[in-house]
């Protein structure tokens, strides 16, 4: 069965909006898109801002496809990975009928996006070691299964053999979306190699983390070309602004990738040192696997730590009120100085 048949019936039949850029054309006089003939006074150094951008800017898509080692037809650029999540649900889940699966505790936007669209959210809890319950996922009846690796906030990774079994069991039934927003921090563990074997595997990525471009709002989906085609029907006609495409394409050049990899190596070193120091403290009860640019820490009394750090102007993310994450705080890996200040402050709270 073609994986595109998993899409909502209406979407399968939908003729995408024929934007001026999609229709295209050739010539010198462009009067087909109700654009301004003049470049705005507030222009930037790049291309003409009075003109709509390409639907999927070629330089950007080529750059990401080359970086990810897939073909251009397997890549969709979006306004952050968050937009990819929303577009997948809108394209594949019939409101009031289909469901998505989340593996809690995990990133919050899968359920928020599903709920705003009227799609039921089923929860399959991570097991006692915070790993996915693969057999439950293989058996579940749903349209999209969301997994996140590194999982935000627990840092859990995926067992590729077990994931393959889920993909096999869900073939022709459900998409399995693996959110790899943080994958550059442990690049060798990407599930991307499974794309060739499973047309129901979808991977979401972003420039917001390792590429240091959260303000740019640029993310990507890697998937079978048919899934990308379905998503292309649903996403906005011009999802990537010209300046965004231009900056993002620079980040994906050989130089840009080198800078990104150096940053990742440096942040990973800072992270390892932080894990070492934290593990020596009596107030620290558990350190979750540190696989992304963050560490989830369980303290003996996180409310006391969170409050004391806040009073010193150190803002971390409190997870204590989330199920199974009592006394947990997530610390992002900032620069050496920020992490040192934070560790010193935490060490100062160690009870004598």
Q: Does 296 bind ligand PLP (CB under 6 A)?
A: no
Query: Which of 303, 315 has the CB closer to ligand PLP?
Result: 315
Query: Which of 214, 303 has the CB closer to ligand PLP?
Result: 214
Residue of closest CB approach to ligand PLP:
80
Within the chain, how many helices (H) and strands (E) appear? 12, 11
State the nearest-atom distance from the C-beta of 48 to ligand PLP, in Å.
27
Closest by Cα among 85, 195, 93, 78 to 146: 85
- Phi/psi class of residue 130: alpha, beta or left (left: φ > 0; alpha: ψ in -120 to 50)? left
Q: Does 57 bind ligand PLP (CB under 6 A)?
A: no
Q: Which of 6, 60, 81, 140 binds ligand PLP (CB under 6 A)?
A: 81
Q: In sequence order, what DSSP letters do the residues of 76-90 get, joined into one string?
A: EEESHHHHHHHHHHH
Q: Which of 208, 224, 293, 327 binds ligand PLP (CB under 6 A)?
A: 208
Residue carrying structure tokens 């004598």: 352
Q: Which stretch binds ligand PLP (CB under 6 A): 80-88, 187-195, 242-250, 301-309?
A: 80-88
Alpha-carbon distance of 301 to 304, in angstroms, equals 6
Query: Which of 221, 268 has the CB closer to ligand PLP?
Result: 221
Q: In sequence order, what DSSP letters do the residues of 114-164 get, joined into one string?
A: HHHHT-EEEE----TTS---HHHHHH---SEEEEESS-TTT-----HHHHH
Q: Which of 119, 148, 176, 230 binds ligand PLP (CB under 6 A)?
A: 148
Please count the residues of this chain forming the interface with ligand PLP, following the rule CB under 6 A.
12
Query: Which of 81, 281 has the CB closer to ligand PLP?
Result: 81
Q: Does 294 bind ligand PLP (CB under 6 A)?
A: no
Q: Which stretch binds ligand PLP (CB under 6 A): 24-32, 59-67, 79-87, 272-280?
A: 79-87
Q: Does 206 bind ligand PLP (CB under 6 A)?
A: yes
State the nearest-atom distance from the C-beta of 204 to ligand PLP, in Å.
7
Alpha-carbon distance of 252 to 266, in angstroms, equals 19
First-residue to last-residue Cα distance in the chain: 65
Residue carrying structure tokens 């300046």: 243
Query: Which of 110, 198 has the CB closer to ligand PLP?
Result: 110
298-304: long-range contacts (C-beta < 8 A, 24 or more apart)?
A: 298/325, 298/326, 298/327, 298/328, 299/327, 299/328, 299/329, 300/327, 301/327, 302/326, 302/327, 302/328, 302/329, 304/349
State the nearest-atom distance from the C-beta of 185 to ligand PLP, in Å.
12
Q: What angle do CA 179, 175, 187 make, to 5 degrees?
A: 30
Residues 96-135 interacting with ligand PLP (rule: CB under 6 A): 107
Count CA atoms closer than 13 A to 32's CA, side-chain side. 13
Q: Does 149 bind ligand PLP (CB under 6 A)?
A: no
State the nearest-atom distance from the C-beta of 85 to ligand PLP, in Å.
7
Q: Which stretch binds ligand PLP (CB under 6 A): 77-85, 243-251, 271-279, 338-346?
A: 77-85
Site string for ligand PLP, 154-193 (x = CB under 6 A): -------------------------x-x------------
Q: Which of 56, 57, 82, 203 binds ligand PLP (CB under 6 A)?
A: 82
Query: Which of 139, 236 has the CB closer to ligand PLP?
Result: 236
Neighbouring residues of 153: CB distance < 8 A, sequence distance ≥ 6: 105, 288, 294, 296, 317, 319, 325, 328, 330
Which residues sit at the interface with ligand PLP, rule CB under 6 A?
Answer: 80-82, 107, 148, 152, 179, 181, 206, 208, 214, 219
């Amino acid at each position: 069965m073609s994986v595109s048949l998993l899409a909502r019936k209406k979407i399968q039949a939908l003729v995408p909006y024929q934007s001026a850029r999609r229709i295209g054309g050739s010539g010198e006089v462009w009067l087909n898109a109700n654009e301004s003939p003049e470049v705005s006074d507030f222009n930037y150094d790049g291309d003409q801002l009075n003109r709509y951008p390409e639907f999927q800017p070629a330089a950007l898509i080529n750059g990401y496809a080359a970086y990810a080692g897939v073909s251009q037809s397997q890549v969709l650029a979006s306004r952050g990975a968050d937009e990819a999540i929303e577009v997948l649900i809108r394209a594949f889940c019939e409101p009031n009928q289909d469901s998505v699966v989340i593996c809690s505790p995990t990133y919050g936007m899968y359920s928020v996006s599903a709920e705003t669209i009227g799609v039921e959210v089923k929860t399959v809890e991570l097991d006692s070691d915070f790993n996915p319950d693969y057999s439950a996922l293989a058996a579940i009846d749903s349209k999209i299964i969301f997994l996140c690796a590194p999982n935000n906030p627990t840092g859990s990774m995926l067992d590729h053999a077990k994931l393959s079994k889920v993909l096999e069991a869900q073939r022709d039934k459900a998409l399995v979306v693996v959110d790899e927003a943080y994958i550059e921090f442990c690049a060798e563990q990407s599930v991307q190699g499974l794309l060739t074997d499973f047309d129901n595997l979808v991977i979401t990525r972003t420039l917001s983390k390792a590429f240091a471009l959260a303000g740019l709002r640029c993310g990507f989906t890697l998937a079978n070309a048919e899934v990308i085609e379905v998503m292309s029907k649903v996403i906005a006609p011009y999802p990537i602004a010209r300046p965004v495409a231009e900056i993002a394409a620079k980040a994906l050049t050989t130089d840009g990738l080198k800078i990104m990899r150096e940053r990742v190596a440096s942040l990973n070193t800072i992270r390892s040192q932080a894990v070492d120091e934290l593990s020596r403290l009596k107030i620290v009860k558990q350190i979750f696997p540190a696989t992304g640019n963050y560490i989830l820490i369980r303290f003996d009394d996180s409310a006391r730590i969170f409050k004391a750090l806040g009073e010193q102007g150190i803002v971390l993310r409190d997870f204590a009120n989330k199920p199974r994450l009592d006394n947990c705080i997530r610390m992002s890996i900032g620069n050496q100085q920020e992490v040192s200040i934070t560790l010193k402050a935490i060490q100062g709270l160690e009870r004598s």
